[in-house]
Amino acid sequence: MMTTLTALCTFAAVGILLLILAYISWRGVGSLSFRFLIDSPRPVGEGGGIGNAILGSLVLLALASALGLPIGIGVGVYLSEIGSGRLAAGVRFITDTLTGIPSIVTGVFVYAIVVLPMKHFSALSGGIALALVMIPIVARTTEEMLNLVPHSLREGALALGAPQWRVTLGVVLPAAASGIATGAMLAIARVSGETAPLLFTAFGSRFFSYYLDQPIASLTVLIYNYAISPYDEWHAQAWAATLVLVTLILGINIVVRILTRRRF
Amino acid sequence: MSVARTDESLVVAGKWASWRHTLSPTGNLGDAIFRLLMLLVALFVVALVIAMVFALSTDSMLAIRRFGFRFLTSTNWNPIKGEFGALPFIYGTVMSSLIALVISVPLSLGIAVFLVEQAPPFIARPIGFLVELLAAIPSVVYGLWGIFVLAPFLRVYVEPVLARLFGWTPLFTGPITGIGLFTGGIILAIMVTPIISAVVRDVLAAVPSTQREAALALGATKWETIRVVLVNGAPGIAGAVILGLGRALGETMAVTMLIGNRPEVSLSLFAPSYTIASAIANEFTEATGDLYLSALVELGLILFLVTFIVNGFARFLVWNVTRRTGGVGRAA
């Protein structure tokens, strides 16, 4: 009896997931074509595509990774290898709590410190906003991966006379590299679905652009704008863009899962 | 006098020595540089939080000075007249999150119990992964799906039934549109379920198996054993629920697309409402005038402080449980 009930809960959740994925595939496949993937948006009735949004998302993700990954990994190294006592506990607590800060608030913050001084929306501010979302996630997965490295490895290297920085950079980090890489992939997957922090930082654009000081398009903002538009054609394009985005995100998640299955 | 000075310099020297020891226990210069660098990076995260509070406070000062405490209690949000009261947003945020919790807490508990206590590993692993995948779907995609699938479904099949059954309460009255507090709450429930159930799974897994064995040995049934496990993990489960609450409070895109975006306080769950996060998302780029923008930033500040406290409290609860039982917890 109880097992039936709990199993029902579980399969309700899984059912909703499959329902959503099936619906996205069904609606998205119709408008999907090679032209759609490389074209830029056009006025209603003339087709057009999401090429500029895909490029924009890639630029934003590259920026976010370049800024967020080193800092996030650095914090993880500090928490696992260096920090101890109250200070480390405080940093860990703040990092954890930062994970739960709504990304829209991050957007407002970046608007205040980057967009206002620059006086216009820019790809740079969007990248910074995504990086801020990324840092606490990367920090915590890095710490967990470093904690999995056996102590004997560190002791062995130290006993050979290596200073701590060489032990960390030359022995511990390489040993945890694949774990840190998968953590980074998951963080990238997570921020590639972020919309709220981009609304008033990267803002969006209807043209191809890779200039960091100009507004830039992104898949998520495009989906949002098309979804709330009154045009059926744009709704169809929103579904196709969603199919692309969700395939990318779930693809990363599934690949990471397969790669890490042996370890956990 | 001279004695005091020696004491002082001794203290300074001692402090310097302890600092030098913290920076580089081995006395190696490379270590000192490396450790200092990592320390600075870690302090950057702390500075980030301080900078957030500072920037949000300065930019909302105009609204704070103008309205003071009234900002939180006034229901009047009228950008044209320059009147800003946050109560409709606070109400919408709290109510939509409560609806989400009412639905997702029992669901998440069921999922966690099934995956940890009942299902064999070859079922629990892939199914658990699928439930986690729900958390990987972006908010904006939930919004899109909500607009075109969930909202019409609720409008046609669910809300009329609720209105017929519970129409005598003020909660289920008024026109049925499919867009409103109820739909926003349901989409939030779907979005926080994977988060709550994942943490509850960790908490249940951290309950020592001796507890289960003891209960079984005393002749408890399977269900009674599960109750023992749940009671044992209760503080951690509370933490998981509060963590989900924090997520629901700040969730933006899906709610913005489904809640109707009207700054009114209405008892009916079918009525359109507005949340803090969706007000910022909708109105920030359109805000004309410093006071309007400042009021929106103040909304952001409120959301930041509330989610920070809620999350901090939740982490504290979850940590305590996982640390006490020495399961998934790490040395903190």
The conformation of residue A40, written as its DSSP 8-state character, comes to P
List, in sequence order, the alpha helices (H) in A78-172.
85-99, 103-110, 116-118, 123-148, 151-159, 164-167
CATH of the domain at B180: 1.10.3720.10
Per-residue pLDDT, B293 = 94
B150: tokens are 């969930």
Report the SS3 class of residue A210.
coil
pLDDT at residue B324, rounded to an integer: 61
- Of the partner residues B42, B138, B222, the one whose CB lies closest to the CB of residue A75: B42
Domains of chain A and any CATH numbers: 48-221 (1.10.3720.10)
Q: Does B29 reside within a domain?
A: yes
Q: Are residues B204 and B266 in the same domain?
A: yes
Based on the fold, state whether residues B113 and B206 are members of the same structural domain.
yes
Q: Which residue, among B144, B230, B275, would best test binding to A if mutated, counting the most A CBs under 10 Å from its CB?
A: B144
Contact residues on chain B for A224, CB-CB shorter than 8 A: 140, 143, 253, 257
For residue range A192-208, list pLDDT tens digits in order: 999 999 999 999 999 99
> What is the radius of gyration, based on Cα positions, of chain A?
21
Final residue in a domain of this structure, among B60, B79, B101: B60
Question: Is A163–B31 a contact, with Cβ atoms under 8 angstroms apart?
Answer: yes
Q: What is the ipTM of this complex?
A: 0.94
pLDDT tens for chain B, 332 residues long, are: 445 556 677 777 777 777 777 777 777 888 889 999 999 999 999 999 999 999 999 999 999 999 999 999 999 999 999 999 999 999 999 999 999 999 999 999 999 999 999 999 999 999 999 999 999 999 999 999 999 999 999 999 999 999 999 989 999 988 999 999 999 999 999 999 999 999 999 999 998 889 999 999 999 998 899 999 999 899 999 999 999 999 999 999 999 999 999 999 999 999 999 999 999 999 998 888 899 999 999 999 999 999 999 999 998 888 877 766 544 433 33
Tell me, yes or no, whether B35 and B157 share the same domain: no
Same domain assignment for residues B169 and B284: yes
Please give the Cα distance from A27 to B309 (Å, whole number). 41
pLDDT of B331: 33
Provide the β-strand partners of residue B260.
B273
In a domain, residue B76? The reply is: no
Whole-number Cα distances in Å, A149 to A70, A152, A154, A158, A180: 20, 9, 8, 15, 12
Domain count, chain B: 2
What's the domain range around B15? 2-60
Whether the full predicted model's pTM is greater than 0.80, yes or no, is yes
Which of B22, B43, B60 terminates a domain? The answer is: B60
Kindly list the distances between the CA atom of residue B278 and the CA atoms of A168, B79, B320, in Å, as whole numbers in the listed order.
44, 16, 34
Chosen for mutation from B28, B31, B38 (greatest number of chain A CBs closer than 10 Å) is B38
For residue B196, being part of any structural domain is answered with: yes
Of A9, A102, A239, the CB nearest to B110: A9
The proportion of chain A whose per-residue pLDDT surpasses 90, expressed as a percent, equals 87
Contacts of B108 in chain A (CB under 8 A): 9
Contact between B42 and A2 using a beta-carbon 8 Å cutoff: no
Confidence at residue B13, expressed as pLDDT on a 0 to 100 scale: 73
Nearest of B184, B176, B163 to residue B270 by alpha carbon: B176
Measured in whole angstroms, the distance separating CA B264 from the mean position of its chain's CA atoms is 24
pLDDT < 70 stretches in chain A: 262-264
Flag whether B263 is in a domain: yes
| Neighbour tally for B322: CB within 10 Å | 23
Report if residue B197 sits inside a domain. yes
Query: pLDDT digit string (tens) for A1-35?
Result: 778 899 999 999 999 999 999 999 999 998 899 99
Q: Measured between alpha carbons, how far is residue B153 from residues A119, A253, B86, B148, B171 in Å?
A: 44, 30, 31, 9, 19
- Which among A5, A19, A97, A130 is the top mutation candidate for probing chain B, defined by the most B β-carbons within 10 Å of its own β-carbon? A97
- Write down the pLDDT at residue B104: 97
